[in-house]
Amino acid sequence: MEWLLGLLGGVVGGGVGGSKNPLGPVVNGGLGAVGGGITGVIIQAATSGGLDFGQILAQVAGGGIVGAVLSAITGFATRPKAGEIR
């Protein structure tokens, strides 16, 4: 259940990290959720099962950072090239 915190952090991070790319908030939030969910599962597997303040902070922060990075990379990869008209 702790992966849900990473998922929520990823949605927020994806929205913030992808705010300047042309994909839109729904796609950015979805990309952030994927990155945050995966990060949440990895953090949960790497740590013991307890849910204390440090664990919650790691889940939310890790999910947010990975969600923002994933959204920014996808936006960069899909932006129009020089001279290309969309």
Contact call for residues 71 and 31 (beta carbons, < 8 A):
yes
What is the model's pTM?
0.78
Q: What is the pLDDT of residues 49-80, one digit of tens each?
A: 667 788 888 888 888 888 888 888 888 888 77
Residue 27 has pLDDT above 80, yes or no: yes
For residues 79 and 25, the model is more confident at: 25
Burial classification of residue 83, based on how many CB atoms lie within 10 Å of its CB (0-12 exposed, 13-18 middle, 19 or more buried): exposed
Q: How far apart are CA 62 and CA 43, in angstroms?
A: 8
Torsions phi, psi of 10, nearest 5?
-65, -35
Q: How far apart are CA 86 and CA 40, in angstroms?
A: 36
Indicate the pLDDT class of residue 19, thresholds 50, 70 and 90.
confident
Q: How far apart are CA 26 and CA 12, in angstroms?
A: 11
Residue 25 has pLDDT above 70, yes or no: yes
